[in-house]
Amino acid sequence: MANTEILTLFEQQPITAACTAQQREQFAIILEQLLEANKTINLTAVADAATAVTIHFADSLALLDALRVNGHGAQFSVAADIGAGAGFPTLPCAVVMPQCQWYAVESTGKKSRFTQACAAAAGLTNVHALNMRAEDLGHTEATAEVLCARETCDIVTARAVASIPTLMEVGLPLVKVGGLLMLFKTDHTDPAELKLASTLAHEFGGSREPDYLYSFAGDTYRRMILCIRKIRSCPGNYPRANGIPFKKPLASSNKKSIK
C-alpha cells in the first residue's frame, strides 16, 4: 500500500484525480520509488512529492489530453519515449494505457535500470527500458522481443530533452506511417525552432497538426505539445549516427546544421 499522504496529492491534482483508485495507487508507488532512489542516484532535480506530482505525472498525462483534443483515441499498441530519463512520461502513461507497450529509450544506464525496476514495483508489464541511443534504434528492425524499431511506433514522444530539429530527426524515423510524434515544449521555446518545425517535419516524412496548449496552477508560462503526423516513410539516411543529430541539428531543407 502506498503512502497515504502521497495518495492524497494525486487526489488533489485534477488530471490524476480523474484516474481510477488503482491507477493512483500505482502512481504513488512510482513516486515513492523515485523519491527514495533519488537520495542516492541523481535521477531528477525535483526533490519534493507535491512538485513531482505536477512536473512528472500531470505533465506526462497531458499527452492523453493532447491526443483527445486532436481527435485521436487511446488505442495504440507501441509507443517510444526518447530520452526517457527516470521514466517520464513512460511510467504514468503506461499506467493509464495498459494495452500499449511503452519503450523508454535512455542512454544513461542508471536511469534505464531505475525505470525497469520502478515499473516492476508498480506491477507494470508493458514497460520496456532500452538502454541505447534513439538514433541507433532508428536503424533497427523489430523483433519478437523488441517491437520498437524503425517505423513501428504508433506514438513517439519526448519531454524537452533536445531541440525540435533533433527530436524530429531521431523521432520521426521510429513512427510508423499514420502515427504521431508528440514533443513536450513550452512557450519559452526558441521561436526559430518553432518556425522550422513545419519545414523539417516535411523533410522527415511528417506534417504538423495543431499544437496542444495547456498549463497547471502556479505556472507562469504555457506548456505545449507539438503534434506531427507521419504521412510517408522517412528517408533512409536519417537519423544520422553517433550523436550527430544532437551535436549538429539540421536547420532547414538545405540540410545545413544549426551553428
Residue 208's CATH number: 3.40.50.150
The pLDDT score that the predictor gives to residue 152 is 97
Please report whether residue 116 resides in a domain.
yes
Q: Is 94 helix (H, G, I), strand (E, B) or coil?
A: helix
Quick check: is 85 in a domain?
A: yes
pTM for this prediction: 0.92
Residue 212 near residue 225 (C-beta atoms within 8 A)? yes
Structural domain span for residue 232: 75-247
Per-residue confidence (pLDDT) for residue 65, from 0 to 100: 92
pLDDT of the residue at 259: 32
Within a domain: 140: yes
Is residue 26 domain-resident? no
> Could you tell me if residue 38 is inside a domain?
no
- Tell me the pairing of strands 78-82 and 101-105: parallel
Residue 9 lies in a domain: no
Does residue 61 form part of some domain?
no
- CA-CA distance, 131 to 45, in Å (whole number)? 21
Predicted confidence pLDDT, tens digits, the chain (259 residues): 468 889 999 999 999 999 999 999 999 999 999 999 999 999 999 989 999 999 999 999 999 999 988 777 667 999 999 999 999 999 999 999 999 999 999 999 999 999 999 999 999 999 999 999 999 999 999 999 999 999 999 999 999 778 999 999 999 999 999 999 999 999 888 888 888 898 899 999 999 999 999 999 888 899 999 999 999 999 999 999 888 999 999 875 444 443 3
Q: Is 147 in contact with 112 (CB distance < 8 Å)?
A: no
- Measured between alpha carbons, how far is 203 from 81 in angstroms, rounded to an integer? 22
Count up the domains in the chain and report the number.
1
Q: What's residue 257's pLDDT?
A: 41
- Pair 175, 167: CB distance under 8 Å: no
User: Does residue 190 lie in a domain region?
Assistant: yes
Closest CA to 238 of 194, 205, 216, 196: 205
- Which residues fall within 8 angstroms of residue 68, CB to CB, at 6 or more apart? 74
